[in-house]
Amino acid sequence: MKIISVVGARPNFMKIAPFIKAIKDHNLQASETIDHILVHTGQHYDDRMSTAFFEALEIPPADINLEIGSGSHAEQVGNTMIAFEKVLLEEMPEWVVVVGDVNATLACSVAAKKLHIKVCHIEAGLRSGDIKMPEEVNRLVTDRLSDLLLTPDRISIENLKQEGTSPERISFVGNIMIDTLETHRERAAAYSINEIIENNQLEGFKREVGNEDYAVVTLHRPSNVDEKEILIPIVNFLLEEVTTEMPILWPVHPRTRKNLEDFGLWEKISEHPEMIMLHPLGYHEMLRLNMEAKIMITDSGGLQEECTILGTPCLTLRWNTERPITLKEHGGASVLVGNHIQKIREEYLKTLTSEKKVVVPELWDGKTAQRCLDAILNFQSE
């Protein structure tokens, strides 16, 4: 059997690493081995966001790099389909495995189905209900086309059934991101918080943290960082309210940094003694910060999941989430606060007196990758 796995951006890397390991373990034992090809579309081309993650997660170098780079959504999807179709015609695999919800996920699913190649979607069934999100479009189209849909939770199964997906195409496997977390938890725990700060602190920021509490902030979504009227109040809240209780560690996304500078906020941040601005971090470094954080303030989907497993209270600066299992009403650690400052303030004040509560949803046990591979090997066409 020949399988092509596709990654396009950093969130994919944490999901594909355990799947590749499952294939490697299978090939050491099975009489019929799997011919596996890893394709990197190159949607994330920054070295800190790509190469460093491959090395940290022990992902072998991609067999094929399409080097798509940046561009509008249409440009990325179109260029990826053109380049990936050539790979498929050359290799003609039995399966294309896509993960997550980035543009590469959508583009490679469409290209594969046009050539009648089976598609497996790892992390299927996630829905935010917000069709304005590009990722929601990617999820809907990919799931409609996929032959095998591997879900991280039972809420996702119900989403797919309500959309008319036949149960035979759905397999509940758990959250593959947690495989990566559990594999690397011990290594991450060995990192020193202050060494992470020292090695990644941006120029002009010189600060350490002792045994004090600290907050971690990550923001990258256009809805939070692209409009001055939204970003300025968020930054003022961080500077004027959060820093009165604890320092803030902020690994800043390139898009966010540019807007902070353009909106005249960078100097104000750099002058504040409790703001610690960092380069984008590697997987282990970010995981280590999350382990000890008093609170996470983020618009990242993956960090919502990590906070649930680690018990870190999480304020999610979004109005909806495709991962409702991470919300407090479902037993998780996250609260949706959008970018409304009063709502952010209310939930932030609650977290100051809350304790960490670790939650492990069903099948988030570090063994999902093997279940993914078993589902592919045992798949029976309708």
Average pLDDT rounded to a whole number, residues 88-110: 97
The yes/no answer on whether domain 2-175+365-377 falls in CATH 3.40.50.2000 is yes
Residue 319: predicted pLDDT: 95
DSSP annotation of 132: T
Edge-to-edge strand ranges of the sheet holding 275-278 = 275-278, 248-251, 215-218, 295-298, 314-316, 334-336
Residue 13: predicted pLDDT: 92
In three-state secondary structure terms, 245 is: coil
Average pLDDT, the chain: 94
Residue 149: predicted pLDDT: 98
Residue 53: predicted pLDDT: 82
Give the dihedral sign, CA 320/297/341/49.
negative
Question: Looking at the predicted structure, is the pLDDT value of residue 269 above 90?
Answer: yes
Distance CA 102, CA 121 (A): 12
In three-state secondary structure terms, 99 is: strand
Question: pLDDT grade, residue 357 (50/70/90)?
Answer: confident
Distances (CA, A) of 271 to 74, 232, 251, 275, 347: 40, 16, 17, 8, 27
Question: Looking at the predicted structure, is the pLDDT value of residue 48 above 60?
Answer: no
What the block records as the tokens of 192 is 């020193």
Residue 43: predicted pLDDT: 76
**What tens digit of pLDDT does each residue of 151-175 get?**
999 999 999 999 999 999 999 999 9
What are the catalytic residues?
220
The domains spanning 2-175+365-377 and 183-351 adopt the same CATH topology: yes
**What tens digit of pLDDT does each residue of 244-255 get?**
999 999 999 999
Question: Looking at the predicted structure, is the pLDDT value of residue 183 above 80?
Answer: yes
Question: Looking at the predicted structure, is the pLDDT value of residue 204 above 70?
Answer: yes
Residue 354: predicted pLDDT: 84
**What tens digit of pLDDT does each residue of 279-332 get?**
999 999 999 999 999 999 999 989 999 999 999 999 999 999 999 999 999 999
Return the domain boundaries, the chain.
2-175+365-377, 183-351
Distance CA 289, CA 285 (A): 6
Residue 45: predicted pLDDT: 56
Distance CA 189, CA 183 (A): 12
- Per-residue buried b or exposed e for 40-75, using 16+ beta carbons within 10 Å of the residue's own CB: bbbbbbeebbbebbbebbebeebebebebeeeeeee
Torsion of CA 350, 351, 352, 357, to 10 degrees: 130
From the options 3.40.30.10, 3.50.50.60, 3.40.190.10, 3.40.50.2000, give the CATH code of 183-351.
3.40.50.2000
Question: Looking at the predicted structure, is the pLDDT value of residue 47 above 80?
Answer: no
Question: Looking at the predicted structure, is the pLDDT value of residue 46 above 80?
Answer: no
Question: Looking at the predicted structure, is the pLDDT value of residue 333 above 90?
Answer: yes
